[in-house]
Amino acid sequence: MKATTPIEGGTAASHAPAAAKKILLVDDHPITRQGLRTLISQQPGLTVVGESDNAAQAMELATKLEPDIAIVDIALRSANGIELTKNLKAHSPGLLILIVSMHDEDLFAERALRAGARGYLMKHEASEKVVEALEKIAAGELYISERVRARMLSRLVNNRTGEVTSPVESLSDREMEVFQLIGNGYATRQIAERLNLSVKTIDSYREHLKLKLNLDSGADLVRYAIQWVKSQDSV
């Protein structure tokens, strides 16, 4: 494993081979980052140049290290991976992004692609799939499962691009972020602080969520969100 030296807000590997694709890891689980780093270090055409556990640090490292590919988890300590993907693409249009997440691809894969990611891989997939995904997006292809590809093709062929199969799918990316935080037990003020928004704005999001999800009260919203998060954790 290559030695690393600290960089503000993360770590950076030194002396990367010139021909190797430079990879930035963004995941708030150290064990996951270690596993990915070990796997990638065994590939002759890939090298990890930096890693971070949150969105702000990831933006900083992306600017300083100019990686070719970022592997991003959806669940981060600050802004989620979908928002981070949008921000990374806005600042570094040429950066290729692979989302690797435990969250159900039926809900998040298309959101990730719309945000600018070039691939989506669920964490329970075999490790060789990570290398395959990196090689495909480096070659200019999209990497998604056959199930997601078939679903997207079906919508295109049948002109049902706006079709949803669950009320949660109708949520915007920001509404989804607030919904997830509610399900993880965050109170309104905590969500406001985490997302750098006002309490009034979060209250407004909660009202929109109740309407979209056809819920009668704030307590119903909390229960529904908790149940949904638990269902995602069990995927």
Whole-number Å distance between alpha carbons of 223 and 188: 15
Check residue 14 and give its pLDDT: 46
The pTM of this model reads 0.73
Which pLDDT score is estimated for 205?
94
Say yes or no: domain 167-233 is CATH 1.10.10.10.
Answer: yes
Of 14, 23, 135, 1, the closest CA to residue 71 belongs to: 23
Residue 195 has what pLDDT?
81
Mean pLDDT per 10-residue section of the chain, whose length is 235 residues = 43 57 94 94 94 93 96 82 93 95 80 93 84 94 84 66 68 87 92 87 94 93 90 63
CATH code for the part of the protein at 4-154: 3.40.50.2300
Beta bridge partners of 6: 11
Task: List the domain boundaries for the chain.
Answer: 4-154, 167-233
Tokens standing for residue 168: 């949660």
Six-digit token string for 104: 């159900």
Q: How far is residue 211's CA from residue 215's CA, in Å, rounded to a whole number?
A: 6
Residue 169: the pLDDT is: 81
| Residue-by-residue DSSP string for 169-207 | GGS-HHHHHHHHHHHTT--HHHHHHHHT--HHHHHHHHH
User: Looking at residue 2, what is its pLDDT?
Assistant: 42
* Helix boundaries (H) for 13-126: 30-41, 55-65, 81-91, 105-115
Query: What is the C-alpha to C-alpha distance for residues 213 and 222, in angstroms, rounded to an integer?
Result: 12
pLDDT at residue 1, rounded to an integer: 41
- What is each CA distance from 90 to 62, 86, 116, 153, 183, in whole angstroms? 12, 6, 9, 27, 29
